Each structure stands twice: as structure tokens, then as C-alpha cells.
């Protein structure tokens, strides 16, 4: 147990575990909070950031067609590139997921959450030496939200009706109240550029901790430290090199041979092999989740007892240990986990219960088997997961028939078309966004046909509610509705699994997104 | 995938050879006493005269005309193929963050909302004036973006060819020299084993031993503009080795079979009776007479080295044309897909044409028509 504790303390000190997580796990080993805190402090002493060195990242998710215009950023490589050279107005807090200051140092909202005022820092310079002005911020938001916008962030900004400068402040008016606006502005597309990027959107002139020195789309990006950065807790290494490695085996080989310091998207199947070498596995809880979806308005799934029976027949622990090899967390049949701000705690965890499944199945009056459609493109291991589910359900007397569909066309012919299928959801920045995308009755992607006027009403009310406690209560009510009456069986949330050499220190387990929310290169340092 | 491509190209090879044989059988003694074309005189007579007096020039002209038509057909096929894929550029490029308005804005910006024939004709008009347009995704000019990638591909193909062609031909001759003896068997087993393993597997094996365990060469093989030449050479060492192993067997076995074919000819027996040593017979007397088929198979493998190596590029993280084209297809970036497709088609056509011309030059009967 001593070894386990030491490991935990070192992970916590290196930032791979949040303080809260460390204390929780230490408590599980029978250590008091005071003793655990002491351990944390002693391990932390060795952890002062070192400056210098050349950091190499081997990343999946780059393409020869990538554009440097932040409005068009799509995959992992550009996500990380943008975080290096640019800043957003707001960031999300790595541990709590709440909005925290970046280029905007503070903000306030009108009572109906329709008009927001942001104070912009006045000591920030762009890489070309020009001072950051409120007008640059106004232009940035306009470029991403105006009627000609081709931005990937247009969806989160569509309720913006007006953006203007007011003295040193940025004022954003919305057509409908939205208490989440600050968090939405942390979207990685919304990098503040001189004149909003209207002049040259691909210039990569920003306020970030690194300046871009080289770029070949789909091949490589290089950076050097911005010595004029406005903060001192970012940018420890002298220079960064991002190499695009889309092949999973190639990434592992590059890391094992020491040619790169860090790789993303490690396949859980190969994690154990990697662990044999001098490698740190960096896994962070994510918001992405693997789902089995039923259409609530289509027979036989229009019967809530049948839906409940199928939910109780799911062995979640087995799913996490088999399909995710332990790199994930069990789900509770609603699409939110503790990585979201305002997560509703205290909802009872649903677990595998063949008796309850049998009871509800009988009550539903359904006779015969249930047809589940799946394909390996739904999520990695989806066909295996379906078979595992078939086994656990058969113990409850429910027969599940599996139909394996072709991967090509799965997303257009099966998902959101057939009444019972497997699927995957990536996370969204806020609970509101997640529910609005997939559970609002008018949403195109309401893939469980969850049509509930009372849920819709609650969703819209919660969106404009500024009182956090009231809002949290509303989100609890919504989560309970989806969990107990919805059409989603959500057995697991998958972790983001990255890996680094031992030289990489200071990795922050940011719950916001993969790769320390894209900030990995700006947050870590290299020990020799 | 690449294997299939090469199977298919073998078919091309026989087509090419057939054409050659046609040219060969077109020597005067096989023609009917009075050729109807020649008899008709006038303009056609002049063409036919040119044809028989300058068979080489005629062949080249004919091929160039054919190539233009072929390239046109290729571009049309690519266009139809990309159109048939589900989702257009605006949808695939925005992915999960697509909003109807952003999709509509991109479509309007690129003119994707106009009918397909209009777009194709416009694109074709640009190309005929030498303008390949801009990449839809990155907004950069296609020509400048492809230049770097094409350079990388040719760099890799060049070194793979410089090593594999002499090696294959040499080993082929050696195998004939020691036919059915131990060296022949060894060469056969080795080359067959190399060609039977999928190229990505050969690649991973080489990476495991020389990259990860021994650490002799750098990996990944990423090259970039401004990289010193020596580093570049080191970076391509493993991909070159993989490609050599993959193309070696095909060329070697063709060389061996072609030479063995003539080894029972009367003039070889004469040479043997004269007491020439075996290697001299093979190198000086047998090989020159079977140059045409060897050249054809070499040309096909060279073409493969340029257009068919996308798997090797992915495994070694080498930024070549193949990966670039796959990236472009993934987001339906039509101008880039078209340009890549046309370049690949041109490489195939030109290499095959060169093979045919060299085949004629290597055959005195075709070189000096009576």
C-alpha cells in the first residue's frame, strides 16, 4: 500500500491527479485527509517547473488540407496548435470546469443573462508588438458569428445579436438569456486575433505563450517561446515541435524510441505494452460516451418498462473493464458526468440487476427478442460490447438479437434512423449544450426521440438562470428524467488516454478536453 | 490495396507488351502485298508513310494524343467519384460542429450550390489555362502545396529505384547463372518472402528492429522543407528499405523468367559451344534480347513507387503525395483530389510510354524498319 500511496502522491504532484482526486483515492486506501495532504506537500517539493528544452509531440488528427484559420480548426492537431499561439477570452478551470479568466479578467451579466460585460486585460501584446484592444475582441466575435461566418463555433454563438466595445469593456447582447455564455467563449475556435482576423485569418498572430515558426499542413508545426507573454505560469520549454502521426502504431513506436516526448490517442489495447517501458500513461476523465440508443416513440421501445428492463440488463462494470480496459468510468444513463460544471451529485448509480430487469421485462408485456443494430464504426469495440450486452441480458431472460451493419453509411442509414442501435457522443462544453444537441425535442440529433415538453421547458429555464444552486437543481431534475424515462442506455464514459516519457513533468489533468484541454505544450516542462 | 493495384498494373503490362508486339508484327513482310492505306494515296498515304518511316515518332505522337484523352477521362471519373461520396465538402469539413448557416456560407463561398456539370466545366477551363485553383480547405494554391509533396514522393521513389532496379536485375541474372542450384533457390525464397508480407508489416518490423531496439535510424521519417540533405537521407532509409523489399521480387522474377526463355535458343547454344563463360553469355547475349519485357516490368514498378506507396507513407509518417490525396478525399477537397489524380495518371502514362520507346530502341528490327 505504501507504494500505491507514493505513486498516487507523485501523480498528484505531477498534476496527473487533481488534488480532489488524490484525496479521494487516498481515503479509499484508508488514509486520513490530513495525512494525505502531508504526503502531497512532500512530493510537491521536487516539482518546481524548469525552463528550457525542445518539446516534441507526436499527435493524431492532422491532415494535408488543414487551414490555419482558427474558424476552421477541426481536429486534434489544430486544437493544440491554436492553444499554443492564441488565447481565448475565457478558459475553463482544469479541475472544476467553471469559467475562469483569460484575456477577459472579469465579467458580469444582466439579470436576465441577456447582456454580458467583459473587462479586457490592458497589458497584453500580440506577437507583432501591437497592443490588444477591445476592438480586436469585438471583431473576433463578429467574424465567428456574422452572417457570412464559416466558423465551427457558429453553433455556440448563434444567439449573439450584438457585440460592441464600451470603453475598455466588451459588451455582448444575446437574443435569449444564456448563463453559460462565458464558458461558451472558451471554445477553441474563438482565438482573439488582431482586427478579429478579418485581415489575414491564417497569420497566427496571437497573444499565446508561443509564436509559430514553421508550418506544413499535415506534417509539422514548430514554435518558439513568446518572451513577451502576459503570464508566467505557461510556456516553460524554449521551443515546441508538433509532428503529425496519424497511425496509432507509429505513434507508440515514436514514443518508445524516444523520438517524441508525448503522444495522444493511445489505444487502450496497447496501454499495457507501453507501461513496460519508461513511460507515463496520462489518462483524464472525458465527456465522450458510448451509448445504446432506443427511440422512445417507436414500438416496442415506447414502453418505459421495456426501456428500464434493458437499462438494468446492462453490466456497466464489465463494459468498462472489457471494452475500455479500465480507461473509463461507468455511466448512469444520462449524458453528464462530474467533468461538467454544475454536475448534479447524489443521483443513485444504476447497476446490473437481472432481477429488476426480469421484473420490468415481464411488466412491459413484450414477447420475443429485441433487435440491436451495431457496427465497429459506432465506437471502438462496439460489436464486442453488443455481444457482452447480449450475454448479460440473457441472464435476465431477455433475448437480444444482434445485427451487424456495414460501417460505410452507418451514420446515415442506421444511427438516428433505426429504433435500437449503438452510437457515440463526444462531449460538449456545457450541460446545456449537450442536452440541447441531443435531448431537446426539436433537435435534429435527438437520437432517442425524447419528446418531452416538460423537459424542454426546464432546459430553456435553466439556460437563463443565473442562480447556480437553482440551476443545479434543474439539471438534477433533467438528469433524473433522462435516466429514468429516456431512451439512452449509457454504460460508460471513455477516458482520454495520452502517454509521455518520464522527462515530461507538470502535466495537468484538465477535465475540459483531451491533451490537458489542448494546453499540454504550454503547461509541461522537461526534466533532464 | 497496393497489392491489388500492382496486380492490376501487371495486366496493364501485358497490354503494353501486346501493343509492342503489334508494332513488331507490323514489319513490311507481314503486310499484304498492296496495303489498302498506301494505295489510297493522298493525305492518308502521307500519314501511313510517316508511320512506317518514323515508327518511333509516330508511336510517341499517337501516345501523346491518347494520353490527353485519357487524362480527360480520368478527371471526369475522379469528379464523378467524389460527387458520389456521401456528404459534400462543407458538411464533411465542418463535421460535428456543422450548423446549417455555416454549411450554406461555405457552399455559397465556393459555389458548391451550382449544378455539378457547371462546376466541372469551370474547373476544366481553369486547368486548360494552367490554373489548378485553390484548395477548398486551406485556401492555398494547389500548385504550390503539391510541389513540396511531389518532391518528397519523387525523392523517396528515386532512392528506392536506384537501389532496387540494379539489385533486381543483377539478382535475376545471378539466379539464371545458378538456376536450380542453392543461390537461385535462396534468392527466390528471400524475394518471395519479402513480397508475400504486407508492406505495412515489413515496415513495422524494420521500425521495431532498426528504429526502436537498435536505434540506428531516426523515426518517424517526417521530412520538411529546409531539412539538411544528410538528415533527409537518414529519414528515408527505412521507407526506402521497405519499398526495395516490396518491389524487388516482381522485377527479379521477371528478369529471371525472361532470360531463361531465350537460354534454349540456338544462338545461346552456339555461344556455349564457342566456350564463352556462362555469365558473359547471360550478360552480353541473352539479356540484351529480353530487354523489352524487363523494361516494361521495371517501368511498372517505378510507377508503383510513385503512385502506390500510401501505406508506406502512413506507416513511416512520410509526407508524400499519397497521404495528401487521401487527406483531400476525406474532406472532399475536389481541386486537390483532381490535381493529385492527374499527376498520378500522368506518371503512369509517361512511364509506360518510355518503356515502350525503350523497348523499340532495344529491338534492332523495330529500330531499322525495312
pLDDT digits (tens, 9 = 90+) for A358-414: 999 999 999 899 999 999 888 888 999 999 999 999 999 999 999 999 876 787 788
How far apart CA B250 and CA B234 sit, in angstroms, is: 26
Query: C-alpha grid cell for residue B222?
Result: 517526417
- Distance from the A57 Cα atom to the nearest Cα atom in chain B, whole angstroms: 12
Length of chain B: 370
Contact A282, A498 (CB under 8 A): yes
Helical ranges in chain B per DSSP H = 2-25, 36-40, 42-53, 55-84, 89-94, 100-110, 116-128, 142-177, 182-196, 199-206, 229-262, 266-274, 278-280, 291-307, 310-316, 321-330, 334-361, 364-367
Query: C-alpha grid cell for residue A371?
Result: 433487435
The reported pLDDT for the residue numbered A478 is 96
Contact A59, A242 (CB under 8 A): yes
Cα-based distances in Å from B179 to A475, B240, B250, B277, B292: 81, 29, 17, 15, 22
What is the second-level CATH architecture of the domain A87-197?
Alpha-Beta Complex (3.90)
Q: Are both A208-285+496-526 and A289-494 of the same fold?
A: no
CB atoms B212 and A74 under 8 Å:
no
For residue range B264-308, what is the model confidence (pLDDT) as tens digits?
A: 889 998 998 988 888 888 888 888 888 888 999 999 999 999 988
Contact A283, A496 (CB under 8 A): yes
The residues, ordered by sequence, that sit 6+ positions from B243 with a Cβ below 8 Å of its Cβ are: B156, B157, B160, B164, B199, B305, B309, B312
The reported pLDDT for the residue numbered B195 is 84
The reported pLDDT for the residue numbered B7 is 39
For B134, phi then psi, to 5°, come to: -110, 150
ipTM of the complex as predicted: 0.76
Q: Which residues of B touch A243 (CB under 8 A)?
A: 220, 222, 317
CB atoms B138 and A254 under 8 Å:
no
For residue range A279-325, what is the model confidence (pLDDT) as tens digits?
A: 999 999 989 999 999 999 998 999 999 999 999 999 999 999 999 99
- Please tell me the number of Cα atoms within 13 Å of B249 on its side-chain side: 19
Could you please state the CATH topology (level 3) that the domain comprising A208-285+496-526 is classified under: D-Maltodextrin-Binding Protein; domain 2 (3.40.190)
How far apart CA A456 and CA A473 sit, in angstroms, is: 15
DSSP states along B153-216: HHHHHHHHHHHHHHHHHHHHHHHHHTTTSHHHHHHHHHHHHHHHS-HHHHHHHHIIIIIIIS--
How far apart CA B151 and CA B155 sit, in angstroms, is: 6
Q: How many CB atoms lie within 10 A of CB A401?
A: 12
Q: Does A82 touch chain B (CB under 8 A)?
A: no
Residues A259-287, mean pLDDT to the nearest whole number: 90
Strand partners, A91: A100
- Selecting from B94, B204, B211 the residue whose C-beta is nearest the C-beta of A152 gives B94
Q: Is the pLDDT of residue B191 over 90?
A: no
Report the SS3 class of residue A161.
Answer: strand
CB atoms B95 and A245 under 8 Å:
no
CB atoms A244 and B138 under 8 Å:
no
- Selecting from B96, B106, B323 the residue whose C-beta is nearest the C-beta of A218 gives B323
For residue range A107-136, what is the model confidence (pLDDT) as tens digits?
A: 999 999 999 999 999 999 999 999 999 999
Q: Give the single-character DSSP code of A206.
A: -
Closest CA to A424 of A438, A409, A444, A403: A438
How far apart CA B204 and CA B206 sit, in angstroms, is: 5
Q: Does A444 touch chain B (CB under 8 A)?
A: no
For residue range B121-145, what is the model confidence (pLDDT) as tens digits?
A: 999 998 888 888 898 888 888 988 8
How far apart CA A70 and CA A393 sit, in angstroms, is: 46
Closest CA to B239 of B158, B132, B340, B332: B158
Residues A221-237, mean pLDDT to the nearest whole number: 95
- Please tell me the number of Cα atoms within 13 Å of A340 on its side-chain side: 27
For residue range A42-51, what is the model confidence (pLDDT) as tens digits?
A: 444 457 899 9
Supply the Cα-derived Rg of chain B in whole angstroms: 25
How far apart CA A201 and CA A195 sit, in angstroms, is: 10
How far apart CA B290 and CA A472 sit, in angstroms, is: 83
Domain residue limits, chain A: 2-46, 87-197, 208-285+496-526, 289-494
CB atoms B319 and A426 under 8 Å:
no
Strand partners, A165: A170
Could you please state the CATH topology (level 3) that the domain comprising A289-494 is classified under: Dipeptide-binding Protein; domain 3 (3.10.105)
User: Which CATH number applies to B142-367?
Assistant: 1.10.3720.10
Domain residue limits, chain B: 54-128, 142-367
Length of chain A: 528
Q: Position of cell 466558423?
A: A151
Query: C-alpha grid cell for residue A222?
Result: 514548430
How far apart CA A342 and CA A336 sit, in angstroms, is: 10
**What predicted TM-score, i.e. pTM, was given to this entire model?**
0.82
Q: Which residues of A touch B95 (CB under 8 A)?
A: 74, 152
Contact B326, B149 (CB under 8 A): no
Angle at B157 between CA B156 and CA B161, to 5 degrees: 120
Cα-based distances in Å from B188 to B22, B163, B175, B180, B200: 33, 18, 8, 10, 21
Q: Which residues of B touch A150 (CB under 8 A)?
A: 94, 102, 105-106, 109
**Cα-to-chain-centroid distance, residue A484:** 25
- Selecting from B94, B317, B324 the residue whose C-beta is nearest the C-beta of A245 gives B317
The reported pLDDT for the residue numbered B12 is 38
Amino acid at each position: 500500500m505504501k507504494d500505491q500511496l507514493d505513486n498516487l502522491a507523485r501523480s498528484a504532484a505531477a498534476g496527473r491527479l487533481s488534488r480532489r482526486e488524490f484525496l479521494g483515492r487516498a481515503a479509499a486506501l484508508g488514509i486520513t485527509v490530513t495525512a494525505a495532504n502531508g504526503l502531497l506537500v512532500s512530493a510537491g517539493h521536487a516539482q518546481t517547473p524548469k525552463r528550457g528544452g525542445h518539446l516534441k509531440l507526436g499527435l493524431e488528427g492532422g491532415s494535408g488540407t488543414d487551414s490555419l484559420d482558427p474558424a476552421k480548426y477541426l481536429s486534434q492537431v489544430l486544437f493544440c496548435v491554436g492553444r499554443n499561439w492564441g488565447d481565448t477570452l475565457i478558459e475553463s478551470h482544469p479541475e472544476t470546469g467553471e469559467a475562469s479568466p483569460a484575456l477577459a479578467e472579469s465579467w458580469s451579466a444582466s439579470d436576465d443573462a441577456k447582456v454580458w460585460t467583459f473587462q479586457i486585460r490592458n497589458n497584453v501584446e500580440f506577437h507583432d508588438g501591437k497592443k490588444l484592444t477591445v476592438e480586436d475582441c469585438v471583431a473576433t466575435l463578429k467574424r465567428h458569428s456574422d452572417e457570412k461566418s464559416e466558423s465551427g463555433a457558429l453553433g455556440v454563438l448563434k444567439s449573439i445579436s450584438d457585440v460592441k466595445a464600451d470603453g475598455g469593456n466588451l459588451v455582448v447582447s444575446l437574443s435569449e438569456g444564456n448563463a453559460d455564455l462565458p464558458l461558451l467563449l472558451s471554445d477553441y475556435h474563438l482565438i482573439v486575433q488582431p482586427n478579429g482576423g478579418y485581415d489575414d485569418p491564417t497569420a497566427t498572430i496571437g497573444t499565446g505563450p508561443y509564436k509559430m515558426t514553421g508550418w506544413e499542413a499535415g506534417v509539422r508545426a514548430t514554435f518558439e517561446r513568446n518572451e513577451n507573454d502576459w503570464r508566467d505560469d505557461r510556456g516553460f520549454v524554449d521551443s515546441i515541435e508538433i509532428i503529425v502521426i496519424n497511425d496509432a502504431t507509429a505513434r507508440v513506436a515514436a514514443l518508445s524510441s524516444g523520438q517524441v516526448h508525448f503522444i495522444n490517442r493511445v489505444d487502450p489495447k496497447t496501454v499495457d505494452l507501453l507501461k513496460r517501458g519508461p513511460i507515463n500513461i496520462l489518462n483524464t476523465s472525458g465527456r465522450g460516451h458510448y451509448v445504446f440508443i432506443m427511440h422512445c416513440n417507436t414500438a416496442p421501445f415506447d414502453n418505459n418498462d421495456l426501456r428500464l428492463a434493458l437499462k438494468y440488463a446492462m453490466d456497466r462494470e464489465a463494459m468498462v473493464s472489457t471494452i475500455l480496459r479500465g480507461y473509463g468510468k461507468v455511466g448512469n444513463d444520462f449524458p453528464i458526468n462530474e467533468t461538467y460544471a454544475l454536475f448534479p451529485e447524489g443521483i443513485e448509480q444504476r447497476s446490473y440487476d437481472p432481477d429488476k430487469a426480469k421484473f420490468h421485462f415481464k411488466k412491459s408485456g413484450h414477447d420475443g427478442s429485441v433487435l440491436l443494430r451495431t457496427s465497429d464504426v459506432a465506437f471502438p469495440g462496439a460489436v464486442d460490447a453488443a455481444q457482452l450486452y447480449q450475454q448479460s441480458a440473457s441472464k435476465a431472460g431477455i433475448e437480444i438479437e444482434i445485427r451487424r451493419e456495414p460501417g460505410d453509411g452507418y451514420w446515415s442509414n442506421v444511427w438516428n434512423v433505426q429504433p435500437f442501435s449503438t452510437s457515440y457522443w463526444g462531449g460538449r462544453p456545457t450541460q446545456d449544450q449537450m442536452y440541447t444537441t441531443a435531448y431537446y425535442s426539436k433537435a435534429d440529433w435527438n437520437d432517442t426521440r425524447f419528446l418531452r415538453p416538460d423537459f424542454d421547458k426546464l432546459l430553456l429555464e435553466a439556460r437563463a438562470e443565473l442562480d447556480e444552486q437553482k440551476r443545479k437543481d434543474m439539471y438534477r431534475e433533467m438528469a433524473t428524467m433522462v435516466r429514468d424515462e429516456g431512451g439512452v442506455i449509457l454504460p460508460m464514459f471513455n477516458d482520454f488516454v495520452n502517454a509521455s516519457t518520464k522527462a515530461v513533468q507538470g502535466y495537468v489533468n484538465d477535465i475540459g478536453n483531451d491533451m490537458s484541454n489542448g494546453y499540454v505544450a504550454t503547461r509541461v516542462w522537461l526534466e533532464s | 490495396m497496393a497489392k491489388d493495384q500492382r496486380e492490376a498494373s501487371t495486366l496493364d503490362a501485358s497490354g503494353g507488351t501486346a501493343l509492342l508486339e503489334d508494332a513488331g508484327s507490323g514489319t513490311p513482310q507481314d503486310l499484304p502485298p498492296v496495303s489498302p492505306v498506301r494505295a489510297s494515296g493522298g493525305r492518308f498515304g502521307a500519314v501511313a508513310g510517316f508511320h512506317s518511316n518514323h515508327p518511333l515518332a509516330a508511336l510517341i505522337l499517337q501516345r501523346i494524343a491518347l494520353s490527353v484523352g485519357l487524362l480527360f477521362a480520368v478527371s471526369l471519373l475522379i469528379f464523378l467519384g467524389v460527387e458520389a461520396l456521401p456528404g459534400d465538402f462543407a458538411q464533411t469539413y465542418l463535421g460535428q460542429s456543422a450548423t446549417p448557416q455555416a454549411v450554406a456560407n461555405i457552399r455559397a463561398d465556393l459555389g458548391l450550390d451550382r449544378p455539378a456539370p457547371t462546376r466541372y466545366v469551370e474547373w476544366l477551363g481553369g486547368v486548360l489555362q494552367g490554373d489548378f485553383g485553390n484548395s477548398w480547405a486551406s485556401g492555398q494554391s494547389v500548385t504550390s502545396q503539391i510541389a513540396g509533396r511531389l518532391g518528397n514522393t519523387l525523392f523517396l521513389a528515386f532512392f528506392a529505384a536506384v537501389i532496387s532496379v540494379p539489385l533486381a536485375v543483377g539478382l535475376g541474372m545471378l539466379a539464371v547463372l545458378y538456376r536450380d542450384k542453392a543461390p537461385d533457390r535462396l534468392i527466390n525464397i528471400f524475394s518471395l518472402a519479402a513480397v508475400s508480407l504486407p508492406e505495412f508489416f515489413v515496415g513495422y518490423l524494420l521500425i521495431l528492429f532498426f528504429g526502436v531496439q537498435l536505434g540506428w535510424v531516426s523515426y518517424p521519417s517526417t521530412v520538411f522543407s529546409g531539412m539538411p540533405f544528410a538528415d533527409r537521407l537518414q529519414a528515408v532509409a527505412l521507407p526506402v528499405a521497405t519499398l526495395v523489399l516490396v518491389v524487388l521480387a516482381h522485377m527479379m522474377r521477371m528478369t529471371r523468367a525472361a532470360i531463361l526463355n531465350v537460354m534454349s535458343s540456338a544462338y545461346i547454344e552456339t555461344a556455349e559451344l564457342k566456350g564463352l563463360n556462362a555469365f558473359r553469355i547471360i550478360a552480353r547475349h541473352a539479356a540484351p534480347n529480353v530487354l523489352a519485357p524487363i523494361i516494361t516490368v521495371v517501368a511498372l514498378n517505378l510507377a508503383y513507387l510513385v503512385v502506390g506507396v500510401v501505406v508506406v507513407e502512413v506507416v513511416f509518417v512520410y509526407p508524400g503525395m499519397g497521404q495528401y490525396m487521401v487527406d483531400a478525399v476525406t474532406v472532399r477537397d475536389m481541386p486537390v483530389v483532381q490535381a493529385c489524380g492527374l499527376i498520378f495518371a500522368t506518371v503512369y502514362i509517361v512511364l509506360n510510354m518510355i518503356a515502350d520507346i525503350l523497348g523499340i530502341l532495344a529491338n534492332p528490327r523495330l529500330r531499322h524498319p525495312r
